[in-house]
Amino acid sequence: MRTQWPFIVVGSGIAGLSAARVMADVGPVLVVTKGPIRTSATQWAQGGIAVVMHSDDQPLYHFTDTIKAGDGLCNPEAVQVLVQEGPQRVAELIQLGAKFDRDTDGYSLTQEAAHSQRRILHAGDSTGKEIEKTLGNALLRHPNVTFLDHTTVTELLMADGECVGIAVMPSNQVGEPRCIYANAVVLATGGCAQVYHRNTNPSVATGDGIALAYQAGATIQDMEMIQFHPTTLYVGESDSKSSFLISESVRGEGGYLLNQDGQRWLLGCHPDAELAPRDWVARAIFAEMMSSGSPFVWLDLSHIPLDLPTRFPTIFKRCLDNGLDMRRQPIPVTPAAHYVMGGVWTNLSAQTSIPRLLAAGECACVGVHGANRLASNSLLDGLVFGCRAGEVAKGWVSHGHRPASNKRWGRQSSESTSVRRQLRHMMWEKVGIQRDEVGLLDAIQTIEEWLMVAGGFDFETFAMLQVSDLIARSALSRTESRGGHYRIDYPHSNAVAAHTMLIAGKNPVFSTTPL
């Protein structure tokens, strides 16, 4: 394979494929993905993509809902880009062949928590899979796009302060790193929820892109803002790598949350009850679990006048596989780590603080999600800002320098497997839905002890440790509660909202405005 490309994309979810589709119009693109081509979090997105498509809705309403959910940390300019460009980008998906659910009035739209309108476009409960299939098929046929799968990026290659390529290894970690150079590199590696014991993410979501960017000197923003999805299927205690998500659309269609006494206890706690913002519902469920001593609450759909196997085929089948018929009985659910609102800081053009390095999707932080992502905005974020990254990259020419990689990593071992397991449990217990200074300090000390010997681990274990350290240090620095970040020792929000900014070798700093 060639060692010099006009464009490299790291990641094959909606953001990476969107960027690649734009750049492929002007030159060859290499898409590097850690697993098979279609193992990103996009594939796992059930609920839908939030976009204005009905005459009763307006971009202004979508803007207002997003800002409100973001609890003071949204970048209004980024949100404006999201809601204004979103409809056109979704129209392009439909032109490519994406098939979304329809009814007699046109496209079938549902409503989710904190949305004031029905604007969630869906394909059953496998919307992400439909979108990724559409983009993936288009790019697999494109003569300018080459996929390099089962490959891990272990380093961003730097020259004169600019990113000029990547170092890669096979994902089985056999062999030496090799260098691939490019005019521009787009990070679209997804999230990092695999650092938590309970999470909804695919196994590849270990925060690689964020760790790579941080090690290269990029600015990282708001890493403490982790969104915990309120409802994942509870099937007992285990060390499985991910929990099965029960889409918020289930509650959007009328599902009730019940405590162990069979009561809708949320009715007396929040005016929107089950459709309150995600961070609030997750904490309410967590508190109820602590109060009752139960590891789950119930989600009841038995009263919903819908054909549930048709509307939610994937969820219905998974429940049935676990002996649960959601048409007739409530199902046990528990919160799980789901999405990171923070990530690699970017401007509105998806440019990071490092020239020639762009980022889009969940690994990036352009400011559209603030402290708490509005439901179903994630796919739209990846689509809109992935395309923006591609547009910017098209104008760059080769830097000319071809530095070598200086880093070597070990293979995954029994020791690194043990460290991962301990890390995931510690992050869930001490840097999870509820946090305090004592737990955060303990977590940071343990993580930094592991990082001191991380050179002997495989890169993925290192990335998980690095990202966990960023989350914990940011959470310790934010002495307030806001959005997805809740401190039991600082339960109230500060008067002025500020962003947590992290740069390698420096302590966290706060900025009241985006860079």
Rounded-to-integer distance, Cα 202 and Cα 27, Å: 31
Selected catalytic residue, list 251, 278, 435, 487: 278
What's the pLDDT at 275?
Answer: 84
Cα separation, 347 vs 366, in Å, equals 6
Angle of helix 59-69 relative to helix 76-96, nearest 10 degrees, comes to 120
Residue 44 pLDDT greater than 70, yes or no = no
**pLDDT at 438 exceeding the cut of 90:** yes
**Mean pLDDT, to the nearest integer, of 193-203?**
94
| pLDDT above 80: residue 108 | yes
- Is residue 448 within a helix (H) or strand (E), and if so which, with residue range? helix 437-452
Mapping DSSP to helix (H, G, I), strand (E, B) and coil, where does residue 231 land?
Answer: strand
Give the span between the Cα atoms of 115 and 72, in whole angstroms: 17
Q: Which of these three, 336, 360, 382, is where a domain ends?
A: 336
What would the pLDDT profile of 444-467 be if each residue is shown by its tens digit? 999 999 999 887 899 999 999 999
Residue 114 is predicted with a pLDDT of 80
Mean pLDDT of the region 285-294 = 94
Q: How does pLDDT run across 307-316, given as a tens digit for each residue?
A: 999 989 889 9
State yes or no: pLDDT of 208 exceeds 90: yes
Quick check: 332 and 326 in contact, CB under 8 A? no
Q: Is the pLDDT of residue 64 over 80?
A: yes
DSSP 150-195: SEEEEEEEEETTEEEEEEEEETT--S--EEEEEEEEEE-----GGG
Q: Which DSSP category does 75 fall into?
A: -
**Is 271 within a domain?**
yes
Judged against a pLDDT cut of 90, whether residue 47 lies above it is answered with: no
Mean pLDDT confidence for 97-121:
88
Give CA–CA dist 403/203, Å, rounded. 31
Is residue 258 situated within a structural domain? Answer: yes
From residue 494, alpha-carbon distances to 434, 490, 512 in Å are: 17, 9, 12
- Tokens matching residue 387: 């395309």
Tens of pLDDT, residue by residue over 325-343, are 999 999 999 999 999 999 9
Q: Which residues contact 508 (CB under 8 A, 6 or more apart)?
A: 473, 474, 477, 500, 501, 502
Among 60-69, 182-191, 221-230, 246-255, whose mean pLDDT is lowest? 246-255
271's CB contacts (< 8 A; 6+ apart) are: none
Model pTM greater than 0.75?
A: yes
Q: What is the pLDDT of residue 513?
A: 60
Question: What is the token pair recorded at 285?
Answer: 């469920």
Can you give the length of the chain in residues? 515
- Assign 121 a pLDDT band (cuts: 50, 70, 90): very high
Give pLDDT tens digits for 334-385.
999 999 999 999 999 999 999 999 999 999 999 999 999 998 999 999 999 9
Beta strand extents in 363-468 (DSSP E only) = 364-365
Number of domains in the chain: 2
The answer on pLDDT for 511 being more than 90 is no
Question: Dihedral of CA 173/214/471/201: which sign?
Answer: negative
Task: List the CATH number of the domain containing 300.
Answer: 3.90.700.10
Instruction: Look at residue 40 and tell me whether its pLDDT is greater than 80.
Output: no
Read off φ and ψ for residue 312, nearest 5 degrees. -130, 65
Whether 206 maps to a domain, the answer reads no
Percent of the chain with pLDDT over 90: 76
Average pLDDT, integer, range 153-162: 96
278 catalytic, yes or no?
Answer: yes
**Domain interval for residue 457:** 414-498
Query: Residue 126's pLDDT band (boundaries 50, 70, 90)?
Result: confident
Domain annotation covers residue 515: no
Looking at the predicted structure, is the pLDDT value of residue 186 above 70? yes
Q: How confident is the model at residue 240 (pLDDT cuts 50, 70, 90)?
A: low
Has residue 99 got a pLDDT over 90? yes
In whole angstroms, give the CA distance from residue 73 to residue 376: 18
Q: Which residue, of 336, 361, 387, is where some domain finishes?
A: 336
Whether residues 242 and 331 share a domain: the answer is yes
Average pLDDT over residues 42-68: 85
Instruction: Select the more confidently predicted residue: 390 or 136.
Output: 390
Find the helix packing angle between 437-452 and 459-477, rounded to 10°: 150
As a whole number of angstroms, the distance between CA 152 and CA 170 comes to 6
Q: Is residue 241 part of a domain?
A: yes
- pLDDT, average across residues 488-505: 94
The predicted structure's pLDDT at residue 42: 56
- 28-32, 76-80, 270-274, 437-441: least confidently modelled range: 270-274
Rounded to the nearest integer, the mean pLDDT of the chain is: 92
Average pLDDT, integer, range 24-45: 78
pLDDT of residue 247: 85
Residues forming a β-bridge with 32: 10, 148
Does residue 514 carry a pLDDT above 60? no
Residue 43 has pLDDT above 80, yes or no: no
Q: Is residue 421 part of a domain?
A: yes
Residue 356: inside a domain = no
At residue 241 the predicted structure's pLDDT band, cuts being 50, 70 and 90, is low
Q: So what's the pLDDT on residue 426?
A: 98
pLDDT the model gives residue 83: 98
**What radius of gyration, in Å, describes the C-alpha atoms of the chain?**
22
Assess if residue 316 is contained within a domain.
Answer: yes
For residue 313, the surrounding DSSP H or E stretch is: helix 313-321
* 434 or 43: which leads in pLDDT: 434
Instruction: Kindly report the CATH number assigned to the domain that includes residue 423.
Output: 1.20.58.100
